[in-house]
Structure 1
Amino acid sequence: MIQVDAKGLMQFINPNFVPIMTNKDRYFVLIGGAGSGKSVAVAQKLILRILKGMSKKKKHKFLCLRKTGPAAGNSIYPLLKDILNQWNLQRLYKVNKTTMSFHFVGGSEILCTGLDDPEKIKSIHGITGVWLEEATEFTHDDFKQLDLRVRGFTWDYKQLILSFNPIDENHWIRQKLFSDDIQAEIEAENQFARKEMTQEVGNKKITYAMSVMHSTYRDNEFLDDVYKARLENLINEDSNYYDIYCRGVWGVLKGLIFEHWEQCDVWPQDFDVSGYGIDFGFSVNPSSIVEAGFRGNDLYLREHCYKVGMTNKEIAVTLFGITHGRMEKPTVADSAEPKSIAEIRSLGHPCMPSVKGKDSVVFGIQRMKQYRILIYRESTNLIKELQGYKWATDRDGTPLNMPVKFNDHLIDAARYIITKLKGVPASLEIIDGSDGKQDFVEAANRETTPGDFAVDEDNDDIWQDF
């Protein structure tokens, strides 16, 4: 018999999130700022519930969702796997990498997927819990359909969990799910709020509830100091971003940079010209790869990679997988990382540095806005970035001629390749005759040459609570 020390596992759980581990309300909503630890806490809660089931010889089936399958594969799936390994539970489960599912001793399951195929979700029965990570990605109809799937008699409570950053006060979660009383509790920076709902069925009144936990980075005891400082510095860059990502309160999306773009269901097979952009990251920021393709006046963008902790070798391997070994299309990466670019080239994949200079970010944005922008529907993180990408403001709310430098990794990658493929807008070439700006214009508009593509060589008393 495999013994699991429940008390020992508690050392891994942030004390500020311990109350959510025992919450049994129908709906549990975790709203808050970046880096608060809410996603980790939800994953830990689901695993603890499965361990409780094992102790009672009972089963769970949890459905963990992002809007798309690729997004789930880059976020909730590796998060759950990391926690299971950190807790040394490898002997208790097997993982199916293809379906992104965990199958536990005793029959419990965790299924990680997206809503790409709603009919597939409808075929899953016996669900005891659903987790909507980055819940603002989902529509109100998505939520209602999932709510209807969590039904029937089960040995333990059923629960829908939503976790997200509050990016827009006009979002359906704020307008449809939150009451004014709940919102008042959040604005008062209270950590927990709860509302009960009563419905008469026949001659019987049935009461169920929704609990809300508000958290910020200050609630995360495991967060590094540099990231804390980065969040606090948002007050100097944009007050709205400071509210959303540092204070964890609903934002007001004004001054969006890209207001007109569409989603497309089909990715074209042929383009007039296309290529790939890379923005490097590692421990906190994700490494990001975007494909950009032009057909007439249409600009197509597709997210290929958005993942933290990637080495340059892993980025190169990912590029080979994306291009299937064909290297005729240019790949442009952040020129601030020359060593990374050199390493990718030494591994056999062409890669050239982006062109930067004074106002290069604004130039890149203006070039993108000259086209009809279509985003491939599976590009969940790119869509999220576009929905929040806005002009910075000062402390008085006055707009500045620069975007907020936060959550823009895929957009940056897109700018690098687009500027290389198309240059900067001709109308901007003679604006301000400073040498730095003109140097940038000339470099960005320079025709690509073949040389640019050269390749360098036992605990029942504990379990009963969860």
Structure 2
Amino acid sequence: MSNVQVILNDHFYDFIDDWEQKFYFLVGGYGSSKSYHVAIKLMKKLFQEKRTALVVREVFGTLRDSCFSLLKEVAESMGVYNTLKFSTSPLHISFPNGSEIIFRGMDDPQKLKSIHNVSLIWLEECSEIKYEGFKELLGRLRHPTLKLHMILSTNPVSKSNWTFKHFFEDSKNKFFVLSDEELYQKKILIKNNTYYHHSTCDDNFFLPKSYTEQLEELEQHDPDLHRIARKGRFGINGKRVLPQFEIAPHEEVMEAIKGIRKPILKSGMDFGMVTSYNALLRLAVDHENKILYIYWEYYSRDKTDPEIAEDIKEFKDSRELIKADSAEAKPIKYYKQMGFNMRACKKFQGSRLAYTKKIKRFKKIICSESCGNTIDELKDLTYAVDKDGEIIEDQFNIDPHTFSAIWYALDDYEVSNLKGGNGIIAMKKPRGL
């Protein structure tokens, strides 16, 4: 392999021969040549050392026309094609020194169980793979003597994707590794045994100018895709549910609430199960100016009802009304028995859509910076889409427990037409101070 000549882009020179880290995370825009250089890196390593490498995508059926074809192309460009044996049934590449590349899809996890002594894994389009799948693959990465490596390549997606939360930041769980903005500026960074690499089409000297111009045109009619394809940056994918959502210092939020002439104070709770979260929010409505303030949150998981009751006992002491999910009759009954002033919200056919539209009618939704979980769920909340790319107005990219808590809290409030005599009590000072 020492006399093999292969053409590389300058930005990938260091990446190709660096094997000091366990993880290699490559993120970038369209046409940046990241997958091409991963294939070269893989080929070189397997010629140098006898290894078993695993190449993975979420759907097995996509591997033949992507990674397998790319590795064949790279083998030809390196002049080693005739030294390798390519099999299509099953997909497999054999090397003259005993190295091999096997291919698997995460849509058939049973086939992963037969894999042994894998010391090198490439996850192509890793953002499409589920986080549980990534952890399963980590368990398959083992060898008695060889150093272990995992290469992950992807186009950037939403910051709610596990790849961003694992390799950059998960604000909900107070986890921080690296700012993505720092990576965009420095292009290559090494942190926590991970080699980070960012690239765009500007890093590929072999692209025609017309391709770059085509990506630039996306900015006018599809800014989301332009951010992904041209800039190679994480962000919000899709249409935001609450574009009027703002974050403000807690003191400013409380001062604004105190200045409301007739504040309407509400509390709502969404019950979580074993793997989901309990969310309880305090809200203040400025009806005249159509502003919703979120100023207090309780957010937990893996807690029993008695534990939660202890956490939120201030609501019991104050007799503050909590509106909760009517589908959860047992916990509501329990909290009532424990002395909480809790009632079931009103649910009806189509209530998810009706409540979502109601919240969208606020001119502003201002959230205290102290409500970190609410911010994490609502700041970049986007609509789910159907198979035709059309938005589904009552489904979202995540399960936003804090959004449900807002629905329940405001089930008897109408943003556009609130009139007297409906039992709503105005309070002069918000609780929770």
Q: Could you tell me how far 1:185 is from its partner in structure 2?
A: 4.4
- Separation in 1, partners of 2:188, 2:46: 25
1:22 aligns to what? 17
SS of residue matched to 2:186:
coil
- Separation in 2, partners of 1:245, 1:218: 12
Q: Could you tell me how far 1:255 is from its partner in structure 2?
A: 2.1
Query: Does structure 1 residue 169 correspond to structure 2 residue 169?
Result: no
SS of residue matched to 2:143:
coil
1:111 aligns to what? 102
1:289 aligns to what? none
Unmatched 5+ stretches in structure 1: 54-58, 197-208, 258-383, 392-466
Q: CA RMSD in A?
A: 2.4
1:140 aligns to what? 131
1:255 aligns to what? 239
- Pick from 139, 142, 145 the counterpart of residue 151 of structure 1: 142
Question: For the structure 1 residues 237 and 186, does the alpha-carbon distance in structure 2 shift closer, same or farther, using more than 3 Å as the test?
Answer: farther
- Pick from 43, 47, 54 the counterpart of residue 47 of structure 1: 43
SS of residue matched to 1:221:
coil
Q: Could you tell me how far 1:244 is from its partner in structure 2?
A: 1.0
Higher mean Cα deviation, 34-43 or 177-186?
Answer: 177-186
**1:43–1:79 Cα contact (<8 Å) kept:** yes
- Separation in 1, partners of 2:74, 2:41: 11
What whole-Å deviation, never above 9, does each CA across 1:181-203 have from its counterpart, x for those lacking one? 5224446422112222xxxxxxx
Query: Does structure 1 residue 240 correspond to structure 2 residue 235?
Result: no
- Separation in 1, partners of 2:237, 2:44: 37
**1:253–1:388 Cα contact (<8 Å) kept:** no
2:244 aligns to what? none
Unmatched 5+ stretches in structure 2: 170-175, 242-383, 392-433
**1:254–1:390 Cα contact (<8 Å) kept:** no
**2:183–2:196 Cα contact (<8 Å) kept:** no
**1:132–1:163 Cα contact (<8 Å) kept:** yes
- Pick from 13, 35, 38 the counterpart of residue 8 of structure 2: 13
- Separation in 2, partners of 1:97, 1:245: 31
- Separation in 2, partners of 1:385, 1:72: 25
- Pick from 166, 170, 190 the counterpart of residue 194 of structure 1: 190
Which residue identity lines up with residue 50 of structure 1 in the other structure?
Answer: L
- Count, aligned residues: 242
SS of residue matched to 1:126:
coil
**1:61–1:128 Cα contact (<8 Å) kept:** yes
Q: Could you tell me how far 1:236 is from its partner in structure 2?
A: 1.5
1:174-189 residue pairs with structure 2 within 5 A?
174-179=164-169, 180=176, 182-186=178-182, 188-189=184-185
Q: Could you tell me how far 1:89 is from its partner in structure 2?
A: 1.0
Query: Does structure 1 residue 88 correspond to structure 2 residue 79?
Result: yes
- Separation in 2, partners of 1:21, 1:142: 26
What whole-Å deviation, never above 9, does each CA across 1:407-434 have from its counterpart, x for those lacking one? xxxxxxxxxxxxxxxxxxxxxxxxxxxx
Question: For the structure 1 residues 388 and 220, does the alpha-carbon distance in structure 2 shift closer, same or farther, using more than 3 Å as the test?
Answer: farther
Which residue identity lines up with residue 187 of structure 2 in the other structure?
Answer: Q
Query: Does structure 1 residue 210 correspond to structure 2 residue 205?
Result: no
1:124 aligns to what? 115
Query: Does structure 1 residue 32 correspond to structure 2 residue 32?
Result: no
Q: Could you tell me how far 1:66 is from its partner in structure 2?
A: 1.0
- Separation in 2, partners of 1:228, 1:390: 28
**1:101–1:110 Cα contact (<8 Å) kept:** yes
- Separation in 2, partners of 1:129, 1:385: 35
- Separation in 2, partners of 1:110, 1:388: 36
Q: Taking CA–CA contacts closer than 8 Å with sequence separation of 6 or more, which of the two structures ends up with the larger relative contact order?
A: 1
1:59-458 residue pairs with structure 2 within 5 A?
59-155=50-146, 157-179=147-169, 180=176, 182-186=178-182, 188-196=184-192, 209-255=193-239, 389=389
TM-score if structure 1 supplies the norm length? 0.49
What whole-Å deviation, never above 9, does each CA across 1:95-150 have from its counterpart, x for those lacking one? 11111110111210011221222121121111111111011110110000101111
**Max Rg structure:** 2
- Separation in 1, partners of 2:197, 2:182: 9
